[in-house]
Amino acid sequence: MPLARDGTGVGATARAFWSQVHPVFMTPPLAASLFGAILAGSVDPTIAVIHVVAMFAAVYTAHVKDGYVDFHVRGEDDDHPLSATGCQVALALSTATFALCCVALGVLVDLFAVALVVPTWLIAYHHAPQLDMNPVTATTGYPLGIALSVLGGYYVQAATLTAVPIAFALVFLTLLSGVKVIDDAQDYAYDRSIEKRTVAVAVGPDRAYGVAYGLMAVALVAVAGFAIARVFPVTSLLAALAFAVVALVARRADPELATMLLIRGSYVFLAVLVAAVRFDPVAGLV
């Protein structure tokens, strides 16, 4: 049976497999892994690459499984580039890649490093159709994966965990959970029709927006608190300020535009945090 639905041959199959690489949603987990490595200070490039590849394989698994369920099982999507067999092959390849990375990390680091990495694949594989049917797990799955990516990226370099990466992971979990609530609100009507219980379906769109921006506000206040306590560099306040500006603009937009703005705002947030941690230009002044 062909692996691609829209053609045969190596080219069509390669395009179908590549279609499951979604840069907008893949970039944050990979960047979070590198951010964790930067937090650790000294970076071993080989170990960093292995962890990044593991995160890529986990997110790829999530995209393929989600597309398989939505098109081939639920019939929600109008089209999908991969056949059912193609999805199964893609899942097998991404899982094998992930497993090889886990073995490498177990050998080069230790088993606790593997214990921090394995949950990212479990979340990815079970997002659909299990975790996305509950408002809590549907909301926190992707943010939790990014939080684990930060922790794993740090641990594989430092072989320990400190308050700093844990605090950053909690901030990302909270902030991105707020963004995910807004993202899910785009599909409120359809999700309600199939009894898919996102936060918007569970509490209504208006309350969902309040929950979303409340979570984001908590995350930004936490950044300020950690900066004041000197857990974070003082310049991390600039990251909170930058995201706050984006959130204020997004608050007036419809869910689709708001999601686009907030996701890109999270890129800015992460970029400023990386600069703050890596360079901390005011370290000697305060």
Q: Mean pLDDT across the chain, nearest whole number? A: 92
Q: 193-206: per-residue pLDDT in tens?
A: 877 889 999 999 99
pLDDT by residue (tens digit) across 131-188?
888 899 999 999 999 999 999 999 999 999 999 999 999 999 999 999 999 999 998 8
- Give the domain 10-159 fold: Tetracycline Repressor; domain 2 (1.10.357)
Predicted pLDDT at 1: 67
Determine the average pLDDT of the residues in 107-122. Answer: 98
The domains of the chain are located at: 10-159, 162-280
The residue with greater pLDDT, 278 or 11, is 11
pLDDT (0 to 100) of residue 88: 96
10-159 against 162-280: fold identical: no
The secondary structure of the chain in percent helix, strand, coil, rounded to multiples of 5, reads: 80, 0, 20
Q: Confidence class of residue 74 from pLDDT cuts 50, 70 and 90? A: confident
Angle 110-112-116 (CA atoms, 0-180°, nearest 5)? 125
Angle at 219 between CA 218 and CA 224, to 5 degrees: 95
Predicted pLDDT at 7:
79
Instruction: State the average pLDDT over residues 199-224.
Output: 95
Range ranked top by mean pLDDT from 105-109, 164-168, 274-278: 105-109
Interval 69-79 mean pLDDT? 83
Q: What is the percent of the chain with per-residue pLDDT over 70, rounded to a whole number?
A: 97
* Beta-strand runs (E) in the chain: none
Q: Find the mean pLDDT for residues 59-76.
A: 90
The pLDDT, as a whole number, for residue 281 is: 61
Is the CATH number of domain 162-280 1.20.120? yes
Q: Are 173 and 143 in contact (CB under 8 A)?
A: yes
- Residue 229 neighbours by CB distance under 10 Å: 10
Q: Does the pLDDT at position 255 exceed 80?
A: yes
Taking 60 as the threshold, does the pLDDT of residue 23 lie above it?
A: yes
Q: Is the pLDDT of residue 59 over 90?
A: yes
Whether residue 269 has pLDDT greater than 80: yes
| Global confidence as pTM | 0.93
Instruction: Single out the residue of 111, 107, 169 nearest to residue 143, CA to CA.
Output: 169
